[in-house]
Structure 1
Amino acid sequence: MAIRETDTRQHILDAAQQVVVHSGYAATGLTEILKEAAVPKGSFYHHFSSKDAFGEALMKNYFQGYLATMDRIIADTSKSGAERTMAYWQWFYDVQTADECQGQCLVVKLAAEVSDLSEAMRLQLAEGTSQIMDRLEKLLTIALEDGSLSGDAVTTTPRELALSQYDAWLGASVMTKVQRTPDSLQRAMAGTRRLLKV
Structure 2
Amino acid sequence: MARPRRSESTREALIKAGISQLSIYGYHGTGIKQILDEVKVPKGSFYNFFASKEAFVAELIIYYSKDLLAQLNAYFQHQAKDLTPLEKLKAINDLSLVKFADSDFQASCLIATISADIDADNSLCRQALNQAVGDCLQLIAALFEQAQQGGEVRRDIAPEQLAQLYWSTWQGALLRTKVAKDTQETRQCMELLLSTLCSHN
TM-score (structure 1 length as normaliser): 0.86
Deviation at 1:154, TM superposition (A): 4.3
CA distance in structure 2 between the aligned counterparts of 1:103 and 1:154, rounded to whole angstroms? 35
Partner of residue 13, structure 1: 15
CA distance in structure 2 between the aligned counterparts of 1:115 and 1:187, rounded to whole angstroms? 32
Q: Residue 16 of structure 1 contacts residue 36 of structure 1 at CA under 8 Å; is this kept in 2?
A: no
CA distance in structure 2 between the aligned counterparts of 1:73 and 1:156, rounded to whole angstroms? 27
Q: Residue 15 of structure 2 contacts residue 60 of structure 2 at CA under 8 Å; is this kept in 1?
A: yes
Q: 1:116 aligns with which of 116, 120, 125?
A: 120
Runs of 4 or more consecutive aligned structure 1 residues displaced over 4 Å after TM superposition: none
Partner of residue 55, structure 1: 57
Distance verdict in 2 for CA 1:138–1:126, change over 3 Å: same
Q: Residue 11 of structure 1 contacts residue 37 of structure 1 at CA under 8 Å; is this kept in 2?
A: yes
1:77-116 alignment runs, 5 A limit: 77-116=81-120
Deviation at 1:115, TM superposition (A): 4.2
**Structure 2 residue identity aligned to 1:63:** S
Give the gaps of 5 or more residues in structure 1: none
1:35-184 alignment runs, 5 A limit: 35-76=37-78, 77-145=81-149, 147=150, 149-150=152-153, 153-184=154-185
Aligned-CA RMSD value: 2.1
Listed one character per residue, the Cα deviations across residues 130-175 of structure 1 (whole Å, up to 9, x for unaligned) are: 1111000011112222x2614xx34311111111111111111111
Identity of aligned residues (%): 25
Could you say which structure has the higher helix fraction?
1
- Secondary structure class of the residue paired with 1:101: coil
Count of residues paired in the alignment: 194
TM-score (structure 2 length as normaliser): 0.85
Give the gaps of 5 or more residues in structure 2: none
